[in-house]
Structure 1
Amino acid sequence: MSLPQPVPPSWKDLGKSANDLLAKDYPYNTTSLEVKTNTPSDVSFRVFGTNDKGVVNGDLEAKWANKPHGITVTQTWTTSNTLKTLVELENQLAKGLKIDVNTALQPEKGTRSTTVGGIYKQSGVHTRGVLDVFKGPTFTADTVLGRDGFLVGAEAAYNVTEGNVTRYAAALGYNAPEYAVTLHGLNNLKTFTASYYHKVSADVEAGAKAVYDSKATTGGVALEVGAKAYLDPAAFVKAKINNSGVLALGYTQSLRPGVKLGLGLAVDTQKLNDISPSGPSHRVGASFVFES
């Protein structure tokens, strides 16, 4: 008898290991501050703010979870005066089924959006459907099937009013304990990406991503490679470079339990004479996270 297959990753998480390696923990674009607190009554608060060239944006988020009944309610108020509400119900109507309703309202502009989604995951399958009530309406569905580490997935968006498919994509991948390979065909199979992730050892990770856009005017393939190394249990460094010559460095340090500092630097190696860190060629930034 064959062993039960694990639940594969969702469509949006295909290639996540490589994407996180190359995109996260590089705070060179902005300076950010994040504060997270939790209460004994299953209520958590999060304040997140960024300063991007003097423009400050922020979110105030409150989340309440009733774990025995699988209910989670998240409310967010942003500095752009957008009110967001997310209601999630998991494993109540059926095992492995999650229903969510996501709304956003801008009172000053009178704009609103509402999506209703469902996620179903079981051994070897992970599928999702989302209905955008006011945009279209548009129904988007994706499915990922997995067996013995091999993954195949597809996504499609359907405009209910016009009665046509507006977007489709497909992906193939293979996940092993030490490495993962993913191929995507996106934007109606006009953009192709290939990513690779390798856990070299307990302290070293490496990865790469290539993107080819058949509609791009510049042509060619965009390539990015990166690595992550733990200096000790409380600190790690990351580095990446792309074929445009931009080198990015990141350093993350846990100063104490619940306090984390991140520093980022991006340097255009083809414009080393531009020595201004805040100039168009080189960028620096930092992030601070406080969690209790």
Structure 2
Amino acid sequence: MQTLYPQIKPHARHDLAVDKTHTLYVDESGSPEGLPVVFIHGGPGAGCDAQSRRYFDPNLYRIVTFDQRGCGRSTPHASLENNTTWDLVADLERIRKHLGIDKWVLFGGSWGSTLALAYAQTHPERVHGLILRGIFLCRPQEIEWFYQCGASRLFPDYWQDYIAPIPQDERHDLLSAFHKRLVGNDQIAQMHAAKAWSMWEGRTATLRPNPLVVDRFSEPQRALSIARIECHYFTNNAFLEPNQLIRDMAKIAHLPGVIVHGRYDVICPLDNAWELHQAWPNSELQVIRDAGHAASETGITDALVRAADLMARRMLNLSPDEA
């Protein structure tokens, strides 16, 4: 099994103002002359951390990580103003230009896979290839499955904690009920709703229970940005047209891609990855038989590191010995 590369520190940091409201945290690590790759984090609202750059060989890759609008070290925290899928696509393009990168590899999981596909379909000429995990196509049926009815039947005990902040007479539309509290002025109700929302995600992210993942999702600042921004996006169907990402796959059908997906992914069921693979002739689908949704699960980590290594060798025309 491949494990993550050792911890490295960024060699450059950028505070990039993308409009009058938002300033993004961006950093670079690895080789300045390496193959550019951008790590696109999930959520939306989760942010990057020191683990994000460890999927890539720092001798081969110029590694870019950034926190999307409203989360992580970007400011203002948990802001919903000017925060849509297309704002984030434009931000990626601003980052690319700011760093003087011609083309890069896109590496994204969960919501990061959604945003990577949206960016690639908008700017296919700027993409070498894609490595995607835990495919999320952001369609109403996927949001319904996890936040209203479906996954609830697999985790009825966790589900009760998720819906606890919502009165019985509002539970027929949980997305709207959570949204009302997450954007409201009652800060106690807001944080109660945010922790319930985020912990539901953390508890169901792994096949085997992982307290470290749950603790990460329940950290108050992270929980607030995840819950507010996710609920904002999902209430608006992620600002996508119906089935847009599958509909527009012809725009990037020529690009190489690797899809890594846990067979027992409850947050983003496997049929999402299967459907994407069917619409993408130049992709490879790797179904990890003993994993759920989280990138930290052993089989998924192994597959992602191997995929990144292989992508670099191919793009840089290296032999296995050179890599």
User: TM-score, normalized by length of structure 1?
Assistant: 0.29
Bigger-Rg structure (1/2):
1
- Indicate the structure with greater strand content: 1
> Which has the higher relative contact order, 1 or 2, with Cα contacts under 8 A spaced 6 or more apart?
2
